[in-house]
């Protein structure tokens, strides 16, 4: 592609094949942020059941290792793109390439995101802005393209990794939390818009999961096992509800957290 | 549920609670002895080392599942680099069975992948919860040692990353000195990032099994001779009985069934040992009873069955964390290899010493090692008899017995297995492994272990020689 399309233009796509039907028809899955712990665990399960995968991440060596694993486990096709997804201008070309490479798209899984350094973000807006850009702006750009693509075809599933941290701001991570709160609101709104077009939009809210992102947190040894979380996600992305808490207990925990009156909440050290 | 505690999950905690000098150790070996404080870091990617030890000057060590028993996977006040998230499959050739994977993958994960594809581990220890890297570093052995040699015999290539950033591609012919030093090299030559393993074909999960009672060492040796052609042999021996029951046991032999049958993946174990038992729970009476029950469970002289490979190879894996049975103080393992020349007399003498001591041991495993040479410079097995015992730790008594058993092993020309040791002296180690000085030339200056500090330590000034 010589010139990047503007958001009003459609993605530059070749003719597509149909996704196939039947219970074990292989899915064509785009994974954005494929080297994140939760994404990689899902990739392993998708690969093992023979799906086609297009994996995007910014670190070439890490992406190559995740792709090799997916190929070895039996993915029908594994293609990769080394892209820094912070660069929103690169999104349309990357997405067009992904869809062309797989001959269509059944599932897009958005797992890009950073935890960021809360304390530094409190002192330095550049840090806060970077967290918001990676966790909010970049997914919004991707979802804008993907939503229009899927709505036009009246098909597809957009699964977006948000977080329970977006449900209530807390002093320990409100910058990260607010980026996820924004993302949750965006994804919920998007679902309201394109569910009627036949596109499934899933908001995923993991509780704390033991991955590279969380390993330095206090109590990380007790966090949810990423393989169990991935098994749940693969299931709900195939067929499940609109808003998913994993592990499920977090639906209840967050209901309690949200119910705490602010005059008490503001005094808590959370 | 305290939701406020739950919500602390996003608080950055650079100094984890486990680093408090009096907190529980962040990483334990399977024997839970000794207990050392250390800093625990995780390697997630092949490129994480040596960056992970930037600024670390007190020594580091890559560790896996912590299934070795003593201090070979520990480092006092050092930095442990846990590898189990570096567990990707990198390639598999269904025609040859060559599997390439990152070093933190467990043998359980390899089996989950390989068995449905008609392949099995070429050598497996008594637990599948060990990493590929750990299996190489300890050059582990299994029930087919007399046919297949050690694990290292089936490792065709691997990458070794040194703390100076060099990445060495190691095979029997390329960087062959590092290949040889790393197999059985106790994790000290560098960090293994990935390795290639030659798997063996199977057509069934089943094992054609025979269990045969024996009384005395000569019956054991005779059964060993008769079972030369069976791929897997191992014996359980009752080390609590004296007199006419002395050295009674069950000789177990098996082969992979050649009758094709479905190769389903194994179910996940569900039982977890619920708590630490108090020290008095394991005593001469309970252990003697266990041993008698185990022996008499098999009423007939000879039993022929066809179990699944799981209970045959991994009977204890069905209960996760079974080491908690040994309570807070933990357990010591003791395993020797005594060459054939003195194997019979040495084994009888040691079994007598154990029986006389009255210090209980549940699991005593007796096996004849074969003569397939290992490529590993520091590999433990040698042709002869090996005996593995475990004891609950009762400080004065079990340590004194251990020291005596180590001395006896030495007198009979044998040696001890570093992966199961927490007690051997520096002089003993250097007698058991006279090649240690040659090995030390390949040791990475930034890496060391509890065991190495104990048996070599200051002699090479390794601790000071880091990055």
Cβ density class B102-122: b for 16+ within 10 Å, e for less: bbbbbbbbbbebbbeebbbbb
pLDDT tens-digit readout, B17-37: 444 456 788 899 988 889 899
CB–CB contact A173 B85 (8 Å)? no
Beta strands in B110-225 (DSSP E): 119-120, 155-161, 167-170, 191-198, 200-201, 207-215
d(CA A29, CA A45): 12
Query: How far is residue B146 from each of residues B132, B307, B371, measured CA to CA in Å?
Result: 21, 22, 7
Q: Do A172 and B92 touch (CB under 8 A)?
A: no
Mutation target for B interface from A211, A215, A228: give the one with most B CBs within 10 A.
A215
Contact B74, B29 (CB under 8 A): yes
Nearest chain A Cα distance for residue B163, angstroms: 19
Mean residue pLDDT of chain B comes to 89
Measured between CA atoms, the residue of chain A closest to residue B92 is A72
Confidence class of residue B467 from pLDDT cuts 50, 70 and 90?
A: very low
Which residues in A lie closer than 8 A to residue B17 (C-beta atoms)? 218
A221/B205: higher pLDDT: B205
Minimal C-alpha gap between A9 and chain B (Å): 39
B1 and A270 within 8 Å at the Cβ level: the answer is: no
Q: Does A1 touch chain B (CB under 8 A)?
A: no
> How far is C-alpha B198 from the geometric centre of its chain's CA atoms?
20
Name which residue leads in pLDDT, B158 or B268. Answer: B158
Say if the Cβ atoms of A173 and B7 lie within 8 Å.
no
Q: Which residue of A has its CA nearest to B105?
A: A69
Q: Which residues pair with B256 in a beta bridge?
A: B207
Q: Can you give the pLDDT at residue B150?
A: 98
Contacts of A176 in chain B (CB under 8 A): 10
User: CA dist B465 to B48, B163, B440, Å?
Assistant: 21, 12, 13
DSSP A45-69: HHHHTT-EEEEEES-HHHHHHHHHH
Whether the pLDDT of residue B236 is over 60: the answer is: yes
Angle value at C-alpha B285, between B283 and B288, nearest 5 degrees:
100
Kindly identify which residue of chain B lies nearest to residue A258, measuring between CA atoms. B3
CB contact under 8 A, B88 and A176: no
With beta carbons less than 8 A apart as the criterion, state whether B337 and B385 touch: yes
Kindly state the DSSP code that residue B349 receives in the 8-state scheme.
Answer: H
Cβ within 8 Å, pair B42-A268: no
Which of B12, B41, B272 should we substitute to test contact with A (largest number of A Cβ atoms within 10 Å)?
B12
Angle at CA of residue B208, ends B206 and B209, nearest 5°: 115
Q: What is the mean pLDDT of residues B345-369?
A: 89
Nearest to B336 by CA among B298, B367, B295, B293: B367
Do residue B10 and residue A219 have CB atoms under 8 angstroms apart?
A: no
Report the pLDDT value the prediction gives residue B406, as an integer from 0 to 100: 95
Structural domains of chain A, with CATH: 28-265 (3.40.50.720)
pLDDT at residue B460 tops 70: no
Q: Where are the alpha helices (DSSP H) in A154-225?
A: 174-194
**Which H helix or E strand runs over B232?**
strand B232-237
**Which segments in chain A show pLDDT lower than 50?**
1-3
- Cis peptide leading into residue B50 (ω within 30°): yes
Q: What is the predicted pLDDT for the residue at B279? A: 65
Residue A217 to residue B90, Cβ atoms within 8 A: no
Q: Judge contact between B409 and B338, C-beta under 8 A.
A: yes
User: In angstroms, rounded to a whole number, what is the distance separating the alpha carbons of residues A56 and A33?
Assistant: 6
Mutate which of B1, B5, B10 to disrupt the A interface (most A C-beta within 10 Å)? B10
| Mean pLDDT score, B66-93 | 96
Q: Which of B3, B88, B90 sits opposite A253 (nearest CB)?
A: B3
Tens digit of pLDDT for each residue in B268-321?
Answer: 876 777 667 666 666 767 777 777 776 777 767 889 999 999 999 998 887 777
- What whole-number distance in Å separates Cα of residue A156 and Cα of residue B252? 56
Q: What is the pLDDT of residues A20-73, one digit of tens each?
A: 555 558 999 999 999 999 999 999 999 999 999 999 999 999 999 999 999 999
Tens digit of each residue's pLDDT (9 = 90 or more) over A208-219? 999 888 888 888
What pLDDT is stored for residue A6 in this prediction?
57
**Residue B8 confidence class, pLDDT cut points 50, 70, 90:** very low
Residue A198 C-alpha, separation from nearest chain B C-alpha, in angstroms: 36
What is the pLDDT at residue B291?
72
Q: Is A93 on the interface with B (CB under 8 A)?
A: no
| pLDDT for position A141 | 98
Domain coordinates in residue numbering, chain B: 207-423
Interface A-B, measured as beta-carbon pairs within 8 A, has a size of 85
Q: How far is A194 from chain B (nearest CA, A)?
A: 33
Distance from CA of B238 to the nearest CA of A (A): 39
Q: Other CB atoms closer than 10 Å to residue B175's CB: what's the count? A: 18
Give me the active site residues of A, please. 176
Q: Has residue B13 got a pLDDT over 60? A: no
Q: What is the DSSP letter of A4?
A: P
B219: exposed, middle or buried (C-beta count within 10 Å: 0-12, 13-18, 19+)?
middle
Which of A238, A98, A70 is closest to A159 using CA atoms?
A: A238
How far is the C-alpha of B75 from the C-alpha of B62, rounded, in Å? 10
- Class for the domain spanning B207-423: alpha beta
Q: Do B42 and A256 touch (CB under 8 A)?
A: no
Nearest-angstrom CA–CA distance, B100 and A102: 27
- For residue B37, the distance in angstroms to the closest alpha carbon of chain A comes to 17
Of the listed ranges A163-167, B56-60, B160-164, B277-281, the least confidently predicted one is B277-281
Rg (Cα) of chain B, in Å, rounded?
22
- The predicted complex's ipTM stands at 0.90
Q: Which residue of B has its CA nearest to A167?
A: B7
- Determine contact, residues B147/B233, Cβ cutoff 8 Å: no
B424 or A13: which leads in pLDDT: B424
**How far apart are alpha carbons B331 and B434 in whole angstroms?**
28
Alpha-carbon distance of B237 to A32, in angstroms, equals 56
CB pair distance less than 8 Å for A208 and B13: no
Q: How many CB atoms lie within 10 A of CB B401?
A: 22
B380-395 pLDDT tens trace: 999 999 999 988 888 7
Q: Do the Cβ atoms of B417 and B380 come closer than 8 Å?
A: yes
């Amino acid at each position: 592609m010589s010139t990047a399309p503007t958001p009003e233009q459609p993605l530059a796509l070749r003719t597509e094949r149909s996704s196939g039907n039947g219970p074990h028809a292989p899915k064509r899955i785009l994974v954005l942020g494929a080297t994140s712990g939760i994404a990689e665990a899902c990739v392993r399960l998708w690969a093992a059941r023979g799906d086609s995968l297009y994996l995007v991440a910014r670190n070439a060596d890490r992406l190559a290792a995740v792709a090799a694993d997916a190929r070895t486990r039996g993915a029908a096709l594994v293609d990769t793109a080394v892209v820094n997804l912070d660069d929103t201008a690169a999104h349309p070309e990357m997405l067009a390439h992904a869809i062309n490479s797989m001959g269509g798209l059944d599932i897009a899984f958005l797992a890009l995101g950073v935890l960021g350094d809360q304390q530094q973000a409190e002192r330095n807006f550049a840090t806060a802005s970077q967290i918001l850009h990676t966790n909010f702006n970049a997914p919004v750009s991707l979802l804008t393209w993907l939503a229009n693509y899927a709505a036009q075809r009246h098909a597809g599933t957009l699964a977006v990794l948000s977080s329970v941290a977006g449900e209530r701001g807390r002093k320990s991570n409100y910058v990260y939390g607010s980026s996820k709160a924004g993302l949750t609101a965006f994804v919920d709104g998007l679902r309201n818009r394109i569910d009627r077009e036949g596109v499934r939009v899933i908001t995923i809210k993991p509780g704390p999961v033991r991955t590279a992102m969380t390993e330095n947190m206090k109590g990380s040894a007790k966090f949810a096992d990423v393989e169990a979380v991935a098994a749940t996600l693969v299931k709900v992305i195939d067929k499940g509800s609109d808003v998913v808490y994993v592990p499920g207990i977090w639906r209840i925990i967050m209901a309690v957290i949200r119910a705490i009156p602010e005059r008490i909440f503001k005094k808590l050290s959370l | 549920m305290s939701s406020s505690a739950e919500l602390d999950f996003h608080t950055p905690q650079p100094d984890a609670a486990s680093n408090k000098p009096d907190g529980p150790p962040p990483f334990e070996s399977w024997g839970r002895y000794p207990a050392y404080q250390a800093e625990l870091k995780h390697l997630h990617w092949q490129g994480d080392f040596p960056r992970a030890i930037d600024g670390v000057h007190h020594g580091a060590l890559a560790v896996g599942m912590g299934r070795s028993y003593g201090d070979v996977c520990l480092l006092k006040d050092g930095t442990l680099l846990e590898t189990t998230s570096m567990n990707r499959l990198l390639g598999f050739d269904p025609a040859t069975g060559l599997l390439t994977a990152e070093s933190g993958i467990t043998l359980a994960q390899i089996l989950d992948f390989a068995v449905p594809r008609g392949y099995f581990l070429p050598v497996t220890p008594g637990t599948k919860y060990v990493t590929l890297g750990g299996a190489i570093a300890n050059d582990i052995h299994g029930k087919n040692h007399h046919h297949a040699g050690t694990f290292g015999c089936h490792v065709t290539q691997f990458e070794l990353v040194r703390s100076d950033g060099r990445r060495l591609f190691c095979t029997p012919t390329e960087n062959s000195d590092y290949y040889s030093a790393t197999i059985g090299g106790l994790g000290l030559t560098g960090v293994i990032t990935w390795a290639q393993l030659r798997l063996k074909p199977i057509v069934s999960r089943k094992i054609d099994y025979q269990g045969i009672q024996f009384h005395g060492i000569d019956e054991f040796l005779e059964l060993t001779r008769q079972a030369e052609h069976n791929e897997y042999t191992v014996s359980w021996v009752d080390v609590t009985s004296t007199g006419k029951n002395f050295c009674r046991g069950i000789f177990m032999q098996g082969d992979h069934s050649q009758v094709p049958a479905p190769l389903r993946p194994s179910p996940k174990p569900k039982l977890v040992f619920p708590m630490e038992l108090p020290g008095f729970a394991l005593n001469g009476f309970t252990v003697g009873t266990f041993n008698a029950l185990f022996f008499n469970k098999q009423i007939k002289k000879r039993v022929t069955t066809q179990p699944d490979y799981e209970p045959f190879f991994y009977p204890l894996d069905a209960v996760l964390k079974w080491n908690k049975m040994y309570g807070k103080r933990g357990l010591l393992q003791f395993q020797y290899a005594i060459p054939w020349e003195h194997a019979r007399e040495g084994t009888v003498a040691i079994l007598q010493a154990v029986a006389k001591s009255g210090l209980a041991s549940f699991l005593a495993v007796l096996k004849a090692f074969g003569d397939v040479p290992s490529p590993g410079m520091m590999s433990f097995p040698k042709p002869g008899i090996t005996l593995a015992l475990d004891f609950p730790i009762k400080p004065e008594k079990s340590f004194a017995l251990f020291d005596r058993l180590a001395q006896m092993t030495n007198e009979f020309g044998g040696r001890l297995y570093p992966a199961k040791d927490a007690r051997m002296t520096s002089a003993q180690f250097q007698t058991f492994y006279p090649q240690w000085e040659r090995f030390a030339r390949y040791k990475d200056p930034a890496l060391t272990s509890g065991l190495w500090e104990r048996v070599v330590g200051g002699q090479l000034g390794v601790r000071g020689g880091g990055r």
